[in-house]
Amino acid sequence: MGAATPESVVTTARAGAILVVTVNNPPVNALGVAVRQGLAAAMAQAQADSAVAGVLLVGAGKAFIAGADIREFGKPAMPPSLPEVCRSIEDCTKPVVAVLHGAALGGGLEVALSAHYRIALPAAKLGLPEVSLGLLPGSGGTQRAPRLMGARAATELMLSGKHLSAKAALAAGLVDQLAEGDDAQAAGLAYLNALLAQNAPVRRTRDIAIPDPAAALAELEVLKADTAKKTRGLFSPLKIIECVQAAVQLPFDEGMARERALFLECLDSPQRAGLIHAFFAEREVVKIPEAKAAAPRAFATIAIIGGGTMGAGITVSALDAGYPVTMVERDAASIARGRANVEKVYTGLVAKGRMTEEAKAAVMARYTGSTSYDDLANVDLVIEAVFEELDVKKAVFKELDRVCKPGAVLATNTSYLDIDAIAAVTSRPQDVIGLHFFSPANIMKLLEIVVPAKVGADVVATAFELAKKLKKVPVRAGVCDGFIGNRILAVYKQAADYIMEDGASPYEIDEAVRGFGFAMGPFQVTDLAGGDIGWATRKRRAATRDPKARYVEVADRICERGWFGQKTGRGFYLYPEGARLGQPDPEVLAIVDAERAKKGVTPRQFTADGIMRRYMAAMANEGANVVHEGIALRPLDVDVTFMSGYGFPRFRGGPMKWADMYGLPRLLADIEEFAKEDALFWKPSPLLVKLVQEGRNFDSLNQLA
């Protein structure tokens, strides 16, 4: 396919006295430079041709227009700008109608708001989601939407980034009419012909006055205070409110100038770069070699082995996606508990009024509990979630090998164990794969798809298909201790322990990590997950730990007292009467002090910046190792893992994107500086060293050959 030209992506055709202007820029009709040029030319044509009485704007394919071309952001701007194009639409002296079907988002909706009338098909989705890209609507959306739907409703739409249905958009005043059916052009022509027959006037959104400006400004002040609290550290939400304040207070053109200035500030912000990286990375992760090599196997029934925390969560996820699920447990008591674990989730939804008893009964009707593997003879896909012990898992897989039909996919939810070893006990290693869900499995988005040596490409493709059906974000990972996420977590958690022993309190560390944008710090996470889990892992690894490696014993001292975190009322924090937010515990600080004294460490001061330099260096360096060893396909896979599964702030785009923005030479210099204290722990990743030598960044590895 050749490069897009204005003529190829915007076509014009006459239907009587109407000029039909069609945007045809697959996949989503994004407003790249050629589309903007094409639209500007079409509007000039409509204006100049006296035989044209009205203009219809329509999108070809599945959308009206999904917005500006996100790939152009951060590159030199090319004329005409989108605000100029919108202006030329609004200025037209002949009625312009936009007919909306599919996505009418961001700049796409702004084009529609510049038209004089709007009609929407039933499946249209309207929104101004720029905030999720670190931006604000920059082509008049902040000025025109408040004029059509009121200042407060428009601001809420822009702050939420949500899509409105056609019906909701009609109720909000964003569109004038709803159409039937799915033929956008026919609906648009009928509407415009009717308008022309009535001599309907040109009706410019910019000429509409916002009612009761004083009340609108007061409402915006309330939204501002609320937003400042909720979106701590985010740049564009408050700028959106400033734009709407300008819409209320200033003449239209001055409001537009204000919007432009603030849009450019957002465009320049690192948050925009991080969020747009996140947008594309989430779409790139599914592009894996196996998907090109093979088609997924068909699957209609799912079995889960184990009904504990994870087995129940995965069952709920599969039931929610509409699958029948058979759960197998060890004995009658265990399966009763497994069923109860599943039912509890739906009972909670009913109690909150988010589900009816009938809907719950209908979902639970697709659930079957069993204590016999023989019930799995016809199942298409099995996910094992039993205890994290290799021998137990091997025994389960021998059973699965015995009973399952040929071609069934056999998956394990193991967190750390060697999946090649599990596959090896079966006669069909080509069917065995890792599906590593995160807790709570019915809520967390991340699904690591762990690819052992002998698995078939079609099984990997099936796992990605399953992720899609369960609405998960899949990331392809190789087999190693902890795969992508938990392997990297182990390293930065260790860095946090060192910082603690060297002088910062766990509370200072958690605060610095939250200040960076994580929802929780590492010690809060330990308390939430249960300190006993990490303790068990540390004991298991004690025998193989390098005796020369630094080992911080604070967490062991805490666990020895039975303080396992929230569930026991205390851990690193105190949780009086089941409180969810912990309070600092002087006794924990005393334990930390005692450990420092035992090791002869003189505590030193750490700033939040000093804490984060070490924490992030450890994370990004191990991320580089994971890419270097092929455990992750690309740096972006590490980024998506952390954003979807570990609470990494999305506006920073993930640890590898963070590293690129921090600068790899600077990151390497930090690691070399830290290595002077502990060369065993702080070893620069060979990939980091290589990239610095070659003057490249992680992003340069994100394009798969």
From the list 391, 432, 430, 387, the residue with the least C-alpha distance to 412 is 432
Is position 325 an interface residue for ligand NAI (rule: CB under 6 A)? Answer: no
553 binds, among ligand NAI, ligand 3HC, none (CB under 5 to 8 A by kind): none
Of 267, 328, 477, 592, the one binding ligand NAI by CB under 6 A: 328
Least Å distance, CB 469 to ligand 3HC, is 14
Instruction: Determine whether 190 is exposed, middle or buried from the number of CB atoms within 10 Å of its CB (0-12, 13-18, 19+).
Output: middle
Of 329, 401, 501, 660, the one binding ligand NAI by CB under 6 A: 329
Is position 107 an interface residue for ligand 3HC (rule: CB under 6 A)? Answer: yes
Distance CA(321)–CA(211), nearest Å, equals 45
DSSP state of 205: G
- The owner of tokens 């009938």 is 358
Is position 111 an interface residue for ligand 3HC (rule: CB under 6 A)? Answer: no
Of 137, 296, 521, 655, the one binding ligand 3HC by CB under 6 A: 137
Distance CA(527)–CA(415), nearest Å, equals 19
> Identity (one letter) of the amino acid at 278?
A
Least Å distance, CB 213 to ligand NAI, is 52
For 668, half-sphere exposure in the C-beta direction (CA atoms, 13 angstrom radius) is: 18
Least Å distance, CB 392 to ligand NAI, is 5
Is position 81 an interface residue for ligand NAI (rule: CB under 6 A)? Answer: no
By rule CB under 6 A, what count of residues binds ligand NAI?
23
Single out the segment in contact with ligand 3HC by CB under 6 A; choices: 34-42, 66-74, 351-359, 456-464: 66-74
Q: How would you label 572-592 residue by residue, b for 16+ Cβ within 10 Å and e otherwise?
A: bbbbeeeeeebeebeebeebb
95 binds, among ligand 3HC, ligand NAI, none (CB under 5 to 8 A by kind): none
Assess whether 130 carries a catalytic annotation. Answer: yes
688 binds, among ligand NAI, ligand 3HC, none (CB under 5 to 8 A by kind): none
Of 33, 99, 135, 633, the one binding ligand 3HC by CB under 6 A: 135
Is position 30 an interface residue for ligand 3HC (rule: CB under 6 A)? Answer: yes
Alpha helices, DSSP H, located in 383-426: 390-403, 419-424
Name the residue nearer to ligand NAI (CB basis): 306 or 655: 306
From the list 64, 60, 56, 59, the residue with the least C-alpha distance to 18 is 56
- Residue 80: asked if its preceding bond is cis (omega within 30°), the reply is yes
307 binds, among ligand NAI, ligand 3HC, none (CB under 5 to 8 A by kind): ligand NAI
534 binds, among ligand NAI, ligand 3HC, none (CB under 5 to 8 A by kind): none
Name the residue nearer to ligand 3HC (CB basis): 329 or 637: 637
Assess whether 110 carries a catalytic annotation. Answer: yes
From the list 525, 552, 527, the residue with the least C-alpha distance to 538 is 552
88 binds, among ligand NAI, ligand 3HC, none (CB under 5 to 8 A by kind): none
20 binds, among ligand 3HC, ligand NAI, none (CB under 5 to 8 A by kind): none
Of 114, 193, 227, 413, the one binding ligand NAI by CB under 6 A: 413
Of 283, 405, 599, 666, the one binding ligand 3HC by CB under 6 A: 283
439 binds, among ligand NAI, ligand 3HC, none (CB under 5 to 8 A by kind): ligand NAI
Of 139, 155, 236, 271, the one binding ligand 3HC by CB under 6 A: 139
Of 70, 151, 267, 473, the one binding ligand 3HC by CB under 6 A: 70
Is position 155 an interface residue for ligand NAI (rule: CB under 6 A)? Answer: no
Is position 308 an interface residue for ligand NAI (rule: CB under 6 A)? Answer: yes
Distance CA(615)–CA(492), nearest Å, equals 6
Distance CA(622)–CA(492), nearest Å, equals 8
DSSP state of 632: B
Tell me which residues in 427-446 interact with ligand 3HC (CB under 6 A): none
71 binds, among ligand 3HC, ligand NAI, none (CB under 5 to 8 A by kind): ligand 3HC
Is position 641 an interface residue for ligand NAI (rule: CB under 6 A)? Answer: no
β-pair type (125-127, 163-165): antiparallel
Taking the chain, what is the end-to-end CA distance rounded to the nearest angstrom?
19
3-class SS string, 57-85: EEECCCCCECCECHHHCCCCCCCCCHHHH
DSSP codes joined into one string, 135-148: ---TTTHHHHHHHH
- Binding marks (x or -) toward ligand NAI, 367..396, rule CB under 6 A? ------------------xxxx---x---x
Is position 271 an interface residue for ligand 3HC (rule: CB under 6 A)? Answer: no
State how far Cα 538 lies from the chain centre: 31
Single out the segment in contact with ligand NAI by CB under 6 A; choices: 9-17, 103-111, 253-261, 323-331: 323-331
**340 is written with which tokens?**
């109860």
The crossing angle, in degrees rounded to 10, of helices 608-628 and 664-675 is 100
CB 240 within 8 A of CB 247: no
CB 527 within 8 A of CB 581: no
Is position 456 an interface residue for ligand 3HC (rule: CB under 6 A)? Answer: no
Is position 82 an interface residue for ligand 3HC (rule: CB under 6 A)? Answer: yes
Cα-based torsion angle of the residue sequence 571, 576, 581, 586 in order, rounded to the nearest 10 degrees: -50
Cα-based torsion angle of the residue sequence 89, 94, 95, 99 in order, rounded to the nearest 10 degrees: -50
Is position 27 an interface residue for ligand 3HC (rule: CB under 6 A)? Answer: yes
Tell me which residues in 470-509 interact with ligand 3HC (CB under 6 A): none
Is position 398 an interface residue for ligand 3HC (rule: CB under 6 A)? Answer: no
Of 9, 23, 28, 120, the one binding ligand 3HC by CB under 6 A: 28
- The owner of tokens 């400004």 is 217
66 binds, among ligand NAI, ligand 3HC, none (CB under 5 to 8 A by kind): ligand 3HC
Residue nearest to ligand NAI (CB): 308
Q: Could you give the strand order of the β-sheet that contains 446-451, starting from the edge strand earlier in sequence?
A: 367-370, 325-328, 302-305, 381-384, 409-412, 432-437, 446-451, 473-478
Sequence-ordered strand ranges (E) for 135-227 = 163-165, 177-178
State how far Cα 697 lies from the chain centre: 23
Name the residue nearer to ligand NAI (CB basis): 139 or 415: 415
**390 is written with which tokens?**
């290799």
Task: Name the catalytic one among 130, 219, 329, 384.
Answer: 130
Distance CA(135)–CA(157), nearest Å, equals 14
271 binds, among ligand NAI, ligand 3HC, none (CB under 5 to 8 A by kind): none
Residue nearest to ligand 3HC (CB): 106
Task: Name the catalytic one among 7, 90, 110, 329.
Answer: 110
3-class SS string, 678-693: CCCCCCCCHHHHHHHH
Single out the segment in contact with ligand 3HC by CB under 6 A; choices: 136-144, 504-512, 614-622, 675-683: 136-144
328 binds, among ligand NAI, ligand 3HC, none (CB under 5 to 8 A by kind): ligand NAI
Chain contacts with ligand NAI (rule: CB under 6 A): 305-311, 328-330, 334, 385-388, 392, 396, 413-415, 437-439
Kindly list the residues in this chain that would bind ligand 3HC in the complex (CB under 6 A). 27-28, 30, 66-71, 82, 103, 105-107, 110, 129-130, 133, 135, 137-139, 141, 283
Q: Active-site positions?
A: 110, 130
